[in-house]
Structure 1
């Protein structure tokens, strides 16, 4: 997979199925936010009984080395506070 012309990982191409279409249609009006899609909407396509939790936002990716990277939630308000950071380290 390439982002801005740089190879950043691996991806597999596949066709959308009915579950993917339902989830994307449900989330199409959400621009930024977090929430839960009720189990009633996904039950006919999902084997599990739980809800689908999502977080849709803009993230900044920072690569420190080949073994570590982090994702920082970019706040859309003018507030400089950092709301969420995810750190991934290879062990």
Structure 2
């Protein structure tokens, strides 16, 4: 779950009535796209399990992606000698995810079973609150 709080405007809309509009000023921006948020709070079954932050891929990340370029689907573990020496081993999962945008504040990714049976294997949901 992404935790991002919107702030109310510090001034009323022009005219002050319902349905009235005010012109946008040069300094105003809309909120960033949902997956462009810099930090995420992860929750499983309503309990906080940690945080994640967006970052650029390192050389080690790129080597791992090159190792896995021929893998179309599956999950496995790469031994320590094939990954970053600071890490012991790397567990990976590669699959087809179906993306569903519920609104500008929610997106869900469904990992689909390759056999097409019994619905999604895994669901990841991002919600801006």
TM-score bracket relative to the smaller structure: 0.5 to 0.7
2:99 paired residue number: 61
2:82 paired residue number = 41
Task: Give the equivalent residue in structure 2 for 1:26.
Answer: 67
Gaps of 5+ in 2: 1-32, 37-55
Matching residue within 56, 65, 74 for 2:112: 74
What is the CA-CA distance between 1:8 and the residue it aligns to?
A: 8.3
TM-score by length of 2: 0.48
Could you list the runs of 5+ residues in structure 1 that have no partner in the other structure? 1-6
- What is the RMSD of the two structures over their aligned residues, measured on CA atoms? 2.7
**Larger RCO, structure (CA 8 Å, separation 6 or more):** 2
Total equivalences in the alignment: 78
Alignment partner, residue 122 of structure 2: 84
Q: Is the 8 A contact 2:97 2:111 kept in 1?
A: yes
* Shift in alpha-carbon separation, 1:76–1:39, aligned structure 2, 3 A: same
After superposing on structure 2, the runs of 4+ consecutive aligned residues of structure 1 that deviate more than 6 Å are none
Measured at CA, do residues 64 and 43 of structure 1 come closer, stay the same or move farther in structure 2, by a change above 3 Å?
closer
TM-score (norm 1): 0.64
Conserved? CA contact 2:98–2:110, under 8 Å: yes
Q: Structure 1's 68 and 8: CA in aligned 2 closer, same or farther, altered over 3 A? A: closer
